[in-house]
Amino acid sequence: MFIYDNYIHNLLRQAEQSAESASADTGAATDAEIKKIIEKAGRLEGLSHREVAQLLMCRDQKHLELIFQTAAKVKAAVYGNRVVMFAPLYVSDWCVNKCAYCNYNSLHQFGRSRLTQEQVRMEVEVLEKMGHKRLALEAGQDSENCPIEYILECLDTIYSMKTGKGAIRRVNVNVAATSVEDYKKLKAAGIGSYILFQETYHRPTYEKVHIAGPKKDFDYHLTALDRAMEAGLDDVGGGALFGLYDPYFEVLGLMLHNEHLEKNYGVGFHTVSVPRLCKADGAIAAGYLYALSDEVFMKITAVLRLAIPFTGIIVSTRESYALRKKLINIGVSQISAGSVTKVGGYSAGLAAQSVAQFEKNDNSKIEDIASWLLDENLIPSFCTACYRSGRTGGRFMGLAKTGKIKNVCQPNALMTLWEYAMDYGSSDFVEKTRALIKSELENIGDEKIRELTAGNIEKIQNGQRDLFV
């Protein structure tokens, strides 16, 4: 396997020792070294494992400030001021696993449910009326109550729907680790990214918190994204559940996993998610010792942005409105909005009996989130163009690394935002959007792209939809 516990522990130990010895004398050597590492990251060159470990051990406020400022610059250089919006859709809470941290663990007694296709339609109708274009489909693991065929049926239903002018145009899928054959089926169904969190890269902790069930097999879970790649799913997303084990270990685990995918399949994670362990009433007590403060969580997010500058970073409603605001400025590029984390929760069809997978800390509506993004001079983006234009995997990364992706992302973000404003925005929101689009158009350097975008904005105003480059 490609996760070496001793290697990661040694890196962290050495970085800790060097930080300690530096603070014992003048701190000058480490000061220069840290600045050099941050400068390298600022040039979008990524970071070595040793450099990541050194940044993770930073406690000095001036170093942390420099990390945050540089992460903000890296994010601006790669993503501009766009923030991609999505919502989760829970279709089934049946699960045969006993994951200690999760409300859906099989020991938790509650009335489990799986949406009928009619209920999927009801849920999607609500999401489309909210203006969402991108979903993350979520389900527990249960091959009898929720087989892959059921997931395929849901995908079919979602993609076939249209509510008013709204439609879901990209469905990312977060279902249990499975076989190449099943991943091929998901690929054929036209999913966006396949997302699977490793939860923890620390094998002993993984085995402790996954008490029983197929997910207990660390190696099978760890190699799931390899099988997805082999099946042709080249946009894959990873993540760790921060709080299960040493968060710095998890960051290096993510680095090793990403490099393994790059080495073997030519492309690493399309996205990395940074969920933090949250309250879940039906969870099994497992004595978590690694709860991390907001400050450490911010440092981790910023270091990830520096280490893997071209990978999207996703933060969910596990985090509060106030913290998500800060995280967006230091590296997060995708956020969920208006989320419901239980089966049937959007249309309230099953909400009374179902249970949320975890407790949310941000209950803001999509329009409130889109509105504060505008107030911060950020662009809420509803774009789903890349995978529909075949810009996935290595092709996407190639464009991102040469900076060319901006020529498609920025116009698409503006067009989809205008579409959202026209179809779902209040008059105040429309005016704010109009002002932002005016100034953003002026910032598009390439004349042809600027004209094309302005022309499409006009077409959208006149009723055309789903325009993208």
SS (H, E, C) the chain: CCCCHHHHHHHHHHHHHHHHHHHHCCCHHHHHHHHHHHHHHHCCCCCCHHHHHHHHCCCCHHHHHHHHHHHHHHHHHHHCCEEEEEEEEEEECCCCCCECCCCCCCCCCCCCCECCHHHHHHHHHHHHHHCCCEEEEEECCCCCCCCHHHHHHHHHHHHHCCECCECCCEEEEECCCCCHHHHHHHHHCCCCCEECCCECCCHHHHHHHECCCHHHCHHHHHCHHHHHHHCCCCCEEEEECECCCCHHHHHHHHHHHHHHHHHHHCCCCCEEECCECCCCCCCCCCCCCCCCCHHHHHHHHHHHHHHCCCCEEEECCCCCHHHHHHHHHCCCCEEECCCCCCCCCCCCCCCCCCCCCCCCCCCCCHHHHHHHHHHCCCEEECCCHHHHCCCCHHHHHHHHHCCCCHHHHHHHHHHHHHHHHHHHCCHHHHHHHHHHHHHHHHHCCCHHHHHHHHHHHHHHHCCCCCCCC
- The nearer residue to ligand SF4, 105 or 433, going by C-beta atoms, is 105
Q: From the CB of 102, what's the least distance to ligand SF4, in Å?
A: 3
Binder to ligand SF4 among 67, 83, 95, 397 (CB under 6 A)?
A: 95
Q: From the CB of 257, what's the least distance to ligand SF4, in Å?
A: 18
Spatial distance between the Cα atoms of 148 and 142, rounded to a whole number of angstroms: 9
CA angle 110, 112, 116 (to 5 degrees): 155
Binder to ligand SF4 among 68, 79, 104, 245 (CB under 6 A)?
A: 104
Closest among 7, 12, 61, 69 to 38, alpha carbons compared: 69
What is the CB neighbour count within 10 angstroms for residue 119? Answer: 18
- The nearer residue to ligand SF4, 49 or 318, going by C-beta atoms, is 318
Site string for ligand SF4, 3-42 (x = CB under 6 A): ----------------------------------------
Residue 243 found at the interface with ligand SF4 (CB under 6 A): no
- The nearer residue to ligand SF4, 82 or 227, going by C-beta atoms, is 227
Q: From the CB of 186, what's the least distance to ligand SF4, in Å?
A: 17
Residue 114 found at the interface with ligand SF4 (CB under 6 A): no
Stretch that binds ligand SF4, among 46-54, 101-109, 144-152, 373-381 (CB under 6 A): 101-109
Site for ligand SF4 in 382-441 (CB under 6 A): none
Site string for ligand SF4, 162-201 (x = CB under 6 A): --------------x-------------------------
- The nearer residue to ligand SF4, 251 or 283, going by C-beta atoms, is 283
- The nearer residue to ligand SF4, 104 or 248, going by C-beta atoms, is 104
Residue 240 found at the interface with ligand SF4 (CB under 6 A): no
Count residues near ligand SF4 (CB under 6 A): 10
Binder to ligand SF4 among 141, 339, 347, 453 (CB under 6 A)?
A: 141
- The nearer residue to ligand SF4, 102 or 300, going by C-beta atoms, is 102
Residue 140 found at the interface with ligand SF4 (CB under 6 A): yes
Write down how long the chain is.
469
Residue 99 found at the interface with ligand SF4 (CB under 6 A): yes
Binder to ligand SF4 among 49, 63, 170, 215 (CB under 6 A)?
A: 215
Q: From the CB of 174, what's the least distance to ligand SF4, in Å?
A: 9
Stretch that binds ligand SF4, among 48-56, 94-102, 389-397, 443-451 (CB under 6 A): 94-102
Binder to ligand SF4 among 11, 52, 83, 102 (CB under 6 A)?
A: 102
Q: Which residues pair with 138 in a beta bridge?
A: 90, 174
Site string for ligand SF4, 49-88 (x = CB under 6 A): ----------------------------------------
Binder to ligand SF4 among 30, 54, 81, 105 (CB under 6 A)?
A: 105
The two most distant CA atoms of the chain are separated, in Å, by 68
- The nearer residue to ligand SF4, 119 or 357, going by C-beta atoms, is 357
Q: Which residues here bind ligand SF4, judged by CB under 6 A?
A: 95, 97, 99, 102, 104-105, 140-141, 176, 215
